[in-house]
Amino acid sequence: MTTASPSPDRRLVDAHGRAIRYLRISVTDRCDLRCRYCMAEQMTFLPRAKLLSLDEIAIIAERFIARGVTKIRLSGGEPLVRRDVGDLVRRLGRHVGATGPDGGLDELTMTTNATRLADHAETLVAAGIRRINVSLDSLNPATFRYITRHGDVAQVLDGIASAKAAGLAVKINMVALAGLNEDEIGPMLAWCLEQGHDLSLIETMPLGAIDEDRTDRFVPLTRVLERLQGEFPLVRDSHRTGGPARYWRVEGSTTRLGLISPLTANFCDGCNRVRLTTEGTLYMCLGHEDRVDLKAALREGGIAALDAAIDDALLRKPARHDFRIDRGAAPATSRHMSVTGG
Ligand code: SAM
Ligand code: SF4
C-alpha cells in the first residue's frame, strides 16, 4: 500500500464526505465488438481530433494520483484498440507502488474484451498490472457471437489463457441476460472455479440507446443468487471495493463471486470513484449527465485550472444514481457505458 498522502486542501472528498480514491479512464469509445446490451449496431464514435492525447490523459491521471487517487482502471470502449495504449500503461505503471509527494498507485488495472489480449498480456505485466477484468458473457460460440454481433469466443479464450500464462489474475465480467445466457451462469461459475478466475455478474444498466428494450433482457441478480446458492457452497466475503459489488466465495476455493446489482441493491453511499472519458470529460456518476470539462481546463489554464475544475466536480458529485428498468422508459443517460468507461 502507498503511504503518500496529499495535503488536506488537495484531498479529494466530495460534498457527501466520500473520499475519491479510484479513477476510471475510458481511453477510447471505439470497440471491435458490438455487444447488444452496450451499443447499437450502427454506433457512431468520436472523431479522433476530439480525443485527449496520451500525454493529456497521463497528465490528468497524474494530477488525480497527486491528489490521493490510489487505483486507476483503463477501460473503454475497448482499451486495447487504442494504438498507443501500451505507452499509457507503461507511463502510468511507473506510479504503481510509488511513495512520495506526488502520490502513488496501489493498483493499475484494465477492463478488456480480450480480443487482442494475447498480443498485450506481457506488456501489461511488465508495466505493473497484476489483475484484469475480462468481459465474457458466454462460453458458447454461437451465443457469444450473437451477443457481441460478430465476436469469436475462441479468440477471447486465447487472450485469457495468455493473460494467465503471463501471470495476470483474471476476473470474468458477465452481464446476466434473460433468454440469452441466464442458464449459463452456473456453468460459467464452474468454469471459473476450474480455471482459478473470479466471476462478477452484472445487471444490465439503462445507459445509452440500443436496438432493443433492456427490460426484455433484465435479470435481477437476487434471482440468480438464489439459484447459485442451491448449486455451489457460497459464503459471504467481506471484500469491498467502494463499488456496487457484493461478494461471495465458493467455499474451499479462491474463486470470488461478485454481484454488481445497481438495480436491485444500491451501494452509492460508499462510492469512491469518478470517470474520465477519452474526450476529457469527467463524470462524477455513471448514472447522471452532470460533467466537468477537464480537457478545456487543462488546455486553457494548465494544472491550476485543472485542479479548480476537479474541485468543482467534487462538489457536484451526486449522492446516488436513479437507475430504473421500465418498459419504454428512456435510458438514465444518453451516453453509453463505452463512453464513460465501464
Ligand atoms: N470493452 C471492454 C469490455 O467489454 O470489457 C471494456 C468496456 S465495457 C463498457 C466494460 C464493462 O461494462 C463490460 O464488462 C460490459 O459487459 C459492461 N457493460 C457495458 N454496457 C453495459 C450496460 N448497459 N449494463 C451493464 N453492463 C454493461
Ligand atoms: Fe465493446 Fe465492451 Fe461494449 Fe462489448 S461491452 S461492445 S466489448 S465496449
With a Cβ cut-off of 6 Å, ligand 1 is lined by: 31, 37-38, 75-76, 78, 111-113, 135, 173, 175, 202, 204-205, 207, 337-338, 342
33 CA → ligand 2 middle, Å: 6
Of 246, 272, 286, nearest to 64 by C-alpha is: 272
* SS3 at position 24: strand
User: Measured from the CB, is residue 31 less than 6 Å from ligand 2?
Assistant: yes
Domains by residue range for the chain, with CATH? 19-340 (3.20.20.70)
Q: Is there an atom of ligand 2 within 6 Å of 135 CB? A: yes
Greatest Cα pair distance in the chain: 58
d(CA 206, ligand 2 centre) in Å: 15
Using CB atoms within 10 Å of the CB of residue 148, give its burial: 0 to 12 exposed, 13 to 18 middle, 19+ buried.
buried
- Residue bearing the CA closest to ligand 1, atom 21: 38
Shortest-distance Cα residue to atom 11 of ligand 1: 342
Distance CA 69, CA 103 (A): 8
Phi, psi (rounded to 5 degrees) for 172: -85, 130
Q: List the chain pLDDT tens, one digit each, 342 residues.
A: 444 566 666 789 998 899 999 999 999 999 999 999 999 888 889 998 999 999 999 999 999 999 999 999 999 999 999 999 999 999 999 999 999 888 999 999 999 999 999 999 999 999 999 999 999 999 999 999 999 999 999 999 999 999 999 999 999 999 999 999 999 999 999 999 999 999 999 998 877 777 777 778 889 899 999 999 999 999 999 877 666 688 999 999 999 999 988 766 667 778 889 999 999 999 988 878 789 999 999 999 999 999 999 999 999 887 777 666 666 666 777 777 777 777
Q: CA–CA separation, 155 vs 245, rounded Å?
A: 28
pTM value is 0.93
